[in-house]
Amino acid sequence: MPKKHLTIALAGNPNSGKTSIFNNLTGTRQKVGNWPGVTVEKKEGHISRAGYDLTIVDLPGTYSLTPFSIEEVVARNYLLDERPDVVIDIIDASNLERSLYLATQIRELDCKVLFALNMADMARSRGTKINDRKLSELLDVPVVFTVGNRNEGMDRLLEQAIRLAESTAPPARIRRVKYSADIEEAIGRLTLFMQSRIEGKLPYLPRWVATKLLEDDAIVKERLVAAAPDAGRQMLEAAEALRQHITDRFDEDPQIVMTDERYGFIAGIVREVQTSTTQQRVDISRSIDLVLTHRLAGFPIFIFFIWAMFQLTFTLGEYPVKWIEAGVDLAAGAAAALMPEGVLKSLTVDGIIVGVGSVIKFMPNILVLFFCIALFEDTGYMARSAFLMDKIMHLIGLHGKSFIPMLMGFGCNVPAIMAARTLESEKDRILTILITPFMSCSAKLPVYVVLAGTFFGARAGTVIFGLYLLGIVLSILTGRVFRSTLLKGADAPFVMELPPYRMPMAKSLLIHMWDRSKIFLRKMGKVILLGSVIIWALSSFPREVPTAGDFAAGTRQEGAVPQAGEAAAGAAQMQRGEERSGGTVDEMRRGRKAKQTENSYIGRLGRFVEPAFAPLGIDWRGGVSLLSGFIAKEIVVSTLGVLHATGDGEEEGALGKALAASGMTPLSALSMMVFVLLYLPCLATTTAIRRETGSTQWMLFSIGYSTSVA
């Protein structure tokens, strides 16, 4: 006996979890194409179950079946014309009221419908309880709880769908939307007309056709006339007269009146079946939102929060930094004392401990930053920031949703670029990916901390805040330019969801913070270690043999023709030497090291790139550091450390002092910071850009663009 065949259609609001459920049900056996004539994706899958061949169709996500958008037309025509055996309406249980609008419309059609109360977990965690029995009873529709992303409830869903398909009794559907008397009367008359004159010619429920005519539904009108030209036209005339009557009566288009009344019906159902312990929280959220998303006050408050975040990052992070510095110095000292003189010792102390140490000490700053970002996320403020930024983002031609990847970019550009996946439109996604690197990531923070801390003292926090702001402004400009040239197109409309505010839980905050900081640590373990060793090698070879002169002259440079920067560095070292009562062995070591660096490969590289950076007021050491920053931005600082020969057993703030002594001014420090902010993203980010845009061209474009801007 050949297997019986059933078609099951999945309908539901966008983001209700349709695709997740579709994937759960069909696995890999799917066919993706377009709906005929339109560029709306159609997914179909085939499975067999309980002796049936099942075809499962994923309908486009819609909020209603009013044929306004292509998606709505496609979904409704499918239900009307293809007549699937069963329609599963995927309901977002955490958004019952909104989901039920589509549900009641599907229920008005002549089809067998089943509700999947999806996102059951979300509803539960929000403290919402839905009485499935009562919902099923009130609407005469079978109801199954599901959790789409965890593959829960799928068996029961299919079981119920098959049982529904097998049932022969027509659904009772006694309870339905009750419209106002005038509308009900009009529906009644049109229904009668339909039953007596057109019945059998148009295969739709008479009452449904009547309501659609009152709503002035163009597609139904067209089909009516096509099915029964004469009677159809008469019916349209009658409908038009009734519509006019209703319009006069309510001073409003019938469609609007009917929509309102449908929502009234739904509100009643929701009141019956849903109990919520969160109502209070929703009310509190509303009150908070009155202030935080206020048209005028919201924005300055937002700026204040961001500014406070950077202040906190800088000030609170400062104390542990000193402890870590002391620890690193201790480790370097111990290694120096224990190991025999030689290349291996130099590698361990100057390469690994000093290199990695100069970056790891920024861990506290980064932890604080990530903690603040986690706080924004967990309290629900992040969604508000997207909402606030929506208008500004529209200036770039993007909407508020793109702001979340950008905000995450302050932490690390790699997950930020991955977060752009949530954007539906490809152009939006590429544009967001191109501007995200201007969001100054946490790896750049060490550079700012050293430079701003040294050259701007108490105003360092404000200067750093200004840098972040500069990045934001440039990203806006970039967005505008690209939106009107390379990536033309309208921004897609979307519904901004504002979850209720939540008291953040310490545990979840710490987990969030730690998850992201781990990325930083892992990078430390691999990329930065490697980078530090490479920089050390480049600065240690070819190796200079210390001469007696070095020891005799202490820090004075011998032999090589002194150059400006070198002379300044020498002078600084002499000065520091005097402070510490004369030329110690330590001083001699450092003088030798400075000379060594000058003549090493990296010194030569520095001389080579110097002219390019000179107009920016950045000396050769700065230039080399910036080059090394391509590996990872953290390395900029460790390279500066190596090139200025600081770090082994030094007093804290040594790098800052050495920089000041090497002739760096507040202006050139600022120039260096701005360059670090803007120039090409790091290796990991460029890789992410290539992966997420799917194109090497965009990656190269991003590199070229950001560096030219810098």
What is the CB neighbour count within 10 angstroms for residue 47? 15
Q: How many residues bind ligand GDP (CB under 6 A)?
A: 16
Shortest gap between Cβ of 516 and ligand GDP (angstroms)? 20
Query: Could you give the strand order of the β-sheet that contains 4-12, starting from the edge strand earlier in sequence?
Result: 30-34, 41-49, 52-58, 4-12, 86-92, 113-118, 143-145
Task: Return the one option of ligand GDP, Mg ion, none that residue 478 interacts with (CB less than 5 to 8 A, by type).
Answer: none
654-661 helix and 445-456 helix, angle to the nearest 10 degrees: 60
Shortest gap between Cβ of 32 and ligand GDP (angstroms)? 13
Shortest gap between Cβ of 18 and Mg ion (angstroms)? 5
Q: Of 8-16, 101-109, 382-390, 565-573, which segment contacts ligand GDP by CB under 6 A?
A: 8-16
Closer CB to Mg ion, 71 or 215, in the complex: 71
Shortest gap between Cβ of 500 and ligand GDP (angstroms)? 16
Closer CB to ligand GDP, 12 or 142, in the complex: 12
Cis peptide before 36 (omega within 30 of 0): no
Closer CB to Mg ion, 22 or 482, in the complex: 22
Residue least distant from ligand GDP (Cβ): 148
3-state secondary structure 100-119: HHHHHHHHHCCCCEEEEEEC
What's at 57, amino acid-wise? Answer: V
If binding is defined by CB under 6 A, does position 15 make contact with ligand GDP? yes
If binding is defined by CB under 6 A, does position 14 make contact with ligand GDP? yes
Site for ligand GDP in 513-572 (CB under 6 A): none
Shortest gap between Cβ of 21 and ligand GDP (angstroms)? 7
Residue in 45, 67, 148, 453 binding ligand GDP, rule: CB under 6 A: 148
86-92 vs 52-58, strand pairing mode: unpaired
Give the number of residues written for the chain: 710
Residues 16-35, mask of contacts with Mg ion (x by CB under 5 A)? ---x----------------
Residues 349-388, mask of contacts with ligand GDP (x by CB under 6 A)? ----------------------------------------
- Residues 6 or more apart whose CB falls under 8 angstroms from that of 698 comprise 430, 433, 434, 689, 690
Closer CB to Mg ion, 117 or 672, in the complex: 117
For the four alpha carbons of 342, 344, 349 and 355, in that order, the dihedral sign comes to positive
For the four alpha carbons of 621, 624, 629 and 635, in that order, the dihedral sign comes to negative
Closer CB to ligand GDP, 15 or 259, in the complex: 15
Closer CB to Mg ion, 31 or 480, in the complex: 31
3-state secondary structure 565-626: HHHHHHHHHHHHHHHCCCCCHHHHHHHHHHHHHHHCHHHHHHHHHHHHHHHHCCCHHHHHHH
Closer CB to Mg ion, 19 or 348, in the complex: 19
Site for ligand GDP in 18-77 (CB under 6 A): 18-20, 61
Backbone angles phi, psi at 294, to 5 degrees: -60, 145
Closer CB to Mg ion, 19 or 285, in the complex: 19
What's at 253, amino acid-wise? Answer: D
Closer CB to ligand GDP, 122 or 418, in the complex: 122
b/e burial code for range 394-413 (CB count within 10 A of at least 16 → b): eebbbbbbbbbbbbbbbbbb
Shortest gap between Cβ of 242 and ligand GDP (angstroms)? 37
Shortest gap between Cβ of 431 and Mg ion (angstroms)? 23
Q: Are 97 and 266 in contact (CB under 8 A)?
A: yes
Burial class, 516, CB count within 10 angstroms (exposed 0-12 / middle 13-18 / buried 19+): buried
Site for ligand GDP in 84-123 (CB under 6 A): 118-119, 121-122
3-state secondary structure 682-703: CHHHHHHHHHHHCCHHHHHHHH
Using CB under 5 A as the criterion, which residues of the chain lie in contact with Mg ion when the complex forms? 19
Using CB under 6 A as the criterion, which residues of the chain lie in contact with ligand GDP when the complex forms? 12, 14-20, 61, 118-119, 121-122, 147-149
